[in-house]
């Protein structure tokens, strides 16, 4: 679908291909130039960051069906893996504060840094916690309650890998991500990474955002109409959406030996908008119904098959 000026489209294509190569060969430079946080542009101030992660933590509680007074018992001593934590490890700090034994974070891009803004967010987060969780969170740093000393890797560890995967680094009780899986280059290998790192009896919970993340041009979901080769040339190394729809997640989970415990849409595109885009876009994404094509995102809980 191309309803814009051809010269403008050509210039846009050239710029995106060039920036894609920068992201490929110099990801650190790319993330600094684009000022990526992993949260979106609207959540930047320390207090905003804290409120965002408190909301995320409540979402995970809801997915785990844990009332507030049951969180500590559930998390006690658990080993947790988080994919794509973004530029602050607030999510990891909240899980550690509430009883997790260790939280490992892995990312494809080197986003997490001890900037003044992020240090402020950590201190604000500590101050929001009740006494018990606050004291435990303070002990997650190399020097207790000194955020600038960095995290003690025995409590919260962070590493960057070329593919954003954990490899064979450990066996986890709980594996998490939020708005991450839609960005991975190789979704099948990511599913395999989840499988090999998830303990039998453990859970893997993911919130997936299927929207365009700003890449629509003229209509909702029209980023899905670009041909796969053109889209890869423009976006494959920048952490942009991989465009896979919910049917692919279901297919790959089964293929690698994970069972879908829950799969719940978070919203749907209006039927008239789906009707406009579906005929041209759906052929790129396999045998998907218009109803599932309409999904704007979903929560997914996985366990060993």
Domain annotation covers residue 201: no
Report yes or no on 117 lying in a domain: yes
Q: Is residue 26 one of the residues assigned to a domain?
A: no
According to the model, what pLDDT value does residue 136 have?
98
177 forms beta bridges with 206
Instruction: Please indicate, yes or no, if residue 134 is contained in any of the structural domains.
Output: yes
The structural domain count of the chain equals: 1
Q: Is residue 187 part of a domain?
A: no
Give tens-digit pLDDT for 55-70: 999 999 999 999 888 9
- pLDDT tens string 142-177: 999 999 999 999 999 999 999 999 998 679 999 999
User: Which pTM was predicted?
Assistant: 0.90
The per-residue pLDDT of the chain, averaged, comes to 92
Dihedral sign computed on CA atoms, order 103, 108, 113, 119 = negative
Position 18 in a domain: no
What is the DSSP pairing of strand 258-268 with strand 295-304? Answer: antiparallel
Question: 97: domain CATH number?
Answer: 3.40.50
CB contact at 8 A, 108 and 152 = no
Q: Is 116 a domain residue?
A: yes
**Neighbouring-strand partners of residue 83:** 106
Instruction: Tell me the C-alpha distance between 99 and 94, whole Å.
Output: 9
Does residue 33 form part of some domain? no
| pLDDT value at residue 42 | 56
- Domain with 88, as residue range(s), is 41-178
What pLDDT was estimated at residue 39?
A: 54
Residue 133 pLDDT > 70? yes
Query: What is the rounded average pLDDT of the residues 18-26?
Result: 81
């Amino acid at each position: 679908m191309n309803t814009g000026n051809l010269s403008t489209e050509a210039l846009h294509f050239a710029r995106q291909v060039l920036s894609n190569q920068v992201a490929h060969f110099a990801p650190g430079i790319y993330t600094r130039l684009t000022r990526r946080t992993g949260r979106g542009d609207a959540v930047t101030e320390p207090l905003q960051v804290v409120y965002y992660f408190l909301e995320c933590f409540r979402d995970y509680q809801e997915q785990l069906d844990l009332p507030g007074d049951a969180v500590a018992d559930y998390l006690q001593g658990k080993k947790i893996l988080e994919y794509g934590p973004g530029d602050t490890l607030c999510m990891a700090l909240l899980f550690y504060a509430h009883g997790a034994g260790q939280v490992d974070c892995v990312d494809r891009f080197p986003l997490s840094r001890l900037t003044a803004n992020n240090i402020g967010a950590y201190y604000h987060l500590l101050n929001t916690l009740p006494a018990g969780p606050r004291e435990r969170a303070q002990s997650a740093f190399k020097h207790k309650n000194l955020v600038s000393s960095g995290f003690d890797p025995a409590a919260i560890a962070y590493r960057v890998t070329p593919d954003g995967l954990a490899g064979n680094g450990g066996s986890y009780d709980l594996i998490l991500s939020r708005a991450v899986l839609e960005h991975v280059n190789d979704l099948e290998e990511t599913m395999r990474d989840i499988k090999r790192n998830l303990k039998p009896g453990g859970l893997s919970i993911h919130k997936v955002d299927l929207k365009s993340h700003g890449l629509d041009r003229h209509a909702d979901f029209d980023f899905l109409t670009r041909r796969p080769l053109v889209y890869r040339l423009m976006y494959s190394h920048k952490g942009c959406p991989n465009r896979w729809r919910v049917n692919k997640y279901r297919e790959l989970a089964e293929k690698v030996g994970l069972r879908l415990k829950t799969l719940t849409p978070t919203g749907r595109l209006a039927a008239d908008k789906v009707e406009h885009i579906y005929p041209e876009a759906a052929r790129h994404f396999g045998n998907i119904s218009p109803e599932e094509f309409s999904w704007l995102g979903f929560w997914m809980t996985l366990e060993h098959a």
